[in-house]
């Protein structure tokens, strides 16, 4: 009897330490919906860090495959977040050029909750 199991494992999440958050680092970030207080989790890349007020400017990415291993840059999706919204630091993805789009490929799946 054979069983179907996925060979893709979860990506390794690292505990967020503020001093480790620098431009170019990928994060799993928690956002809360305005109207119904739904919690969403997105992959974001750090653009800038303001040390004096613990603010982080991030660029959002959108899942582009069913597994959650590939993400695309999301145009016009920059946010300013506080450190307490960072769920985890993610490993650096591999950048793959696929038909005029850059795909950010993580070594495992990232558990996101997107709209």
Q: What is the per-residue pLDDT across 70-99, written as a single tens digit (0 to 9) for each?
A: 999 999 999 999 999 999 999 999 999 888
Region 41-54 average pLDDT: 93
Half-sphere exposure of 86 (CA within 13 A, CB side): 29
Could you tell me the pLDDT band of residue 6, with boundaries at 50, 70 and 90? low
Region 34-42 average pLDDT: 85
Q: Which of 45, 41, 18, 53 has the alpha carbon at shortest distance from 115?
A: 41
- pLDDT score at 2: 42
Alpha-carbon gap, residue 113 to 96, rounded angstroms: 23
pTM of the predicted model, to two decimals? 0.88
Could you tell me the pLDDT band of residue 53, with boundaries at 50, 70 and 90? confident
Least confident of 34-38, 60-64, 66-70: 34-38
Could you tell me the pLDDT band of residue 5, with boundaries at 50, 70 and 90? very low
- Give tens-digit pLDDT for 18-33: 999 999 999 999 998 8
| Average pLDDT taken over every residue of the chain | 90
């Amino acid at each position: 009897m054979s069983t179907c199991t996925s060979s893709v494992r979860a990506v390794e999440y690292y505990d967020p330490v503020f001093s480790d958050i620098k431009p170019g680092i990928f994060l799993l970030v928690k956002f809360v919906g305005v109207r119904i207080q739904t919690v969403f989790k997105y992959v974001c890349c750090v653009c800038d860090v303001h040390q004096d007020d613990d603010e982080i400017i991030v660029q959002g990415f959108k899942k582009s495959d069913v597994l959650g291993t590939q993400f695309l840059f999301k145009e016009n999706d920059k946010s300013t977040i506080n450190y307490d919204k960072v769920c985890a630091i993610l490993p650096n993805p591999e950048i793959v050029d696929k038909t005029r789009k850059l795909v950010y490929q993580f070594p495992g799946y990232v558990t996101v909750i997107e709209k």
